[in-house]
Amino acid sequence: MVQRTTGKTGLHLVDDKQDCVRCGSHHCCFRSGLDDDQMKALTRIVRLRGPYKPGEAIFKIEDPFKSLFSIQSGAVKIESISQGGNRDVSGFYFSGEMTGIESIGDARYNNDAIALETTWVCELPFHQLELLCGVIPALQRQIMILLGEKIRRTNSMVVQGRHMKAEQRVMYFLHSLCRREAIRHNLSSNKVHLPMTKGDIASYLGLRPESLSRALTKLQREGNIRNSAKQIELLDRGVAYEFACE
Amino acid sequence: MVQRTTGKTGLHLVDDKQDCVRCGSHHCCFRSGLDDDQMKALTRIVRLRGPYKPGEAIFKIEDPFKSLFSIQSGAVKIESISQGGNRDVSGFYFSGEMTGIESIGDARYNNDAIALETTWVCELPFHQLELLCGVIPALQRQIMILLGEKIRRTNSMVVQGRHMKAEQRVMYFLHSLCRREAIRHNLSSNKVHLPMTKGDIASYLGLRPESLSRALTKLQREGNIRNSAKQIELLDRGVAYEFACE
DNA sequence: CGATCAATTGAGTGTGTTCAATGTCAGTGG
DNA sequence: CCACTGACATTGAACACACTCAATTGATCG
């Protein structure tokens, strides 16, 4: 059995009774597409872990890479330390989404995964997952799709980011969050909940916090959004639905 | 049998006798790690295609996604069209490297793959590759590693790119090309061959051609490089070996 | 309540962009 | 052989956007 030590708090709960079928994030989990038997086989290798408190690490950079983590509830930021000691956020993940895939094929994790709010995750030991992929083609396919999508999203971020000015990037980011929130909760809303700090967002968008703040202020002045601490309301409804953020 | 029509020139040669064992790019191909039997199985599904002349497409955006392409000789750029009609280069691939993986999990290719010089590729029909992965765990693992590396490189490009100024990015890019060229040819040199235009490079680095030109001029003035049309010589030898470019 | 960290606002600076002109080179046809 | 063409590359000058540095306000927690 895997024993994980996470930062300062030590071991987390392990609930072997957790079943994928009872999972609250079932409708948006990557497992959709598997039949009941396949799901059962998957359930057997999954371990539920949590709760991670805000600021706690699900995995840390340089930890041996062992598992992928499907987020059952909560939110996570992925960050690493660039040369110069800056903390760089390279992604946000929410329930139903899978993290850890950035480190597949490497011996160690390439970044930290930090909980932004109280978070539960399903640990998928990668070696067992690989073995299972050999037996369940649908699972292998599902993983490949997951990786392909990740590559596309990141790629698209590079390409889009080049041509967009700060305000555009912010709007695209917000719309992306909004769209994902809609998928998660099966309902569409204009209000985007922000579990991360504005600083995290700025880092993710490649801006200084000051620049992000100015952009948000301007967007609010122009009536595109309503800005507050941990939530932003989208008022424009129209443009900007195709953007890759994660 | 797959019939590919590529742009204006129609069908390309198919050489069924091609054997992975005889391949010139064998030492740097993703297949390293497979034993002889596994290699034979792979050879069975591979099709050699070419020659593609400069400017010709190996695949085009919106073509149905069917295959990955391992480049046997030559060079390829990956580009797509952003909103606004700009052509955006998102990657360069050279012999021994695999392209097409950005579209895994999608029904169609997400970008064009354009030959930069006379190019031969090994077509790997993805469906057959998936089936083979179920039988050959080492192959499945190899593909996963390939995808993981791609994710990491792209990610790192995003993160690095944020903090680097034009000149730094150029230097990192050149060093990256240099390192890859060393791997390809099993020898180290300071001269980087550039099959792509400066405009392509600028696009890839997220710069205007003018800005790239200025950066190159300045780097040359300062004695870091020797700049010419299709080749750049690196003179600094020291910094800048860790950068993800592709 | 003060301490600490996040967020905002302001003023001045710098890097890359934009627009326009010029230079270079390969290919083509007179 | 040389003038013409078109694509690529370089250079200059003015501008815009995001950055830097610094000060202020706001939020949260002990």
Q: Is A133 on the interface with B (CB under 8 A)?
A: yes
Chain A nearest-CA distance from B150, in A, is 7
pLDDT (0 to 100) of residue A22: 62
Helix (H, G, I), strand (E, B) or coil at B224: coil
Q: Which residues of B touch A145 (CB under 8 A)?
A: 104-105
pLDDT (0 to 100) of residue B10: 39
Nearest to A161 by CA among A112, A207, A113: A207
CA of A54 to C1' of D26 (A): 21
* Position A5 pLDDT exceeds 60: no
| Residue A217 approaches strand C within 7 Å at CB | yes
Q: Hey, which residues 214-243 in chain A have their CB within 8 Å of chain B? A: none
Give me the helix-helix angle, B137-163 and B126-135, nearest 10°.
Answer: 120
Query: At A13, phi and psi to the nearest 5?
Result: -60, 150
Lowest mean pLDDT among A3-17, A66-80, B96-110, B131-145: A3-17
Kindly list the strands in the beta sheet with A191-193, ordered across the sheet, starting from the edge strand earlier in the chain: A191-193, A231-234, A225-227
Q: CB distance B101–A148 less than 8 Å?
A: yes
pLDDT (0 to 100) of residue A183: 86
* Average pLDDT of the segment spanning A213-223: 95
Q: Is B145 on the interface with A (CB under 8 A)?
A: yes
Residue B36 is encoded by which pair of tokens?
Answer: 């002889």
Q: Which residues of B touch A201 (CB under 8 A)?
A: none
How confident is the model over B190-224, as pLDDT tens digits?
Answer: 899 999 999 999 999 999 999 999 999 999 999 99
The residues near B76 (Cβ < 8 Å, ≥ 6 apart) are: B58, B92, B93, B94, B99, B113, B114, B115, B116, B119, B121
Of A84, A141, A151, the CB nearest to B102: A151
CA distance A226 to A216: 9
The CA-CA-CA angle for residues A14, A20, A23, to 5°, reads 85
Q: Are A80 and A110 in contact (CB under 8 A)?
A: yes
Tracing tokens 């392409």 back to the chain, one arrives at B69
List bases, strand D, within 7 Å of protein CB. Answer: 8-13, 17-22, 27-28
More confident residue, A210 or A33: A210
Q: What percent of chain B has pLDDT over 70?
A: 83
| Residue A213 approaches strand C within 7 Å at CB | yes
CA distance A172 to B82: 14
Chain A nearest-CA distance from B232, in A, is 25
What is the pairing mode between strands B231-234 and B191-193? antiparallel
| Residue B213 approaches strand D within 7 Å at CB | yes
| Residue A207 approaches strand D within 7 Å at CB | yes
Q: What share of chain B is helix, strand, coil (3-state, %, to 5)?
A: 40, 25, 35
CA distance A199 to B84: 30
CA of B211 to C1' of C15 (A): 10
CA distance B66 to B71: 16
Helix (H) or strand (E) holding A101: none
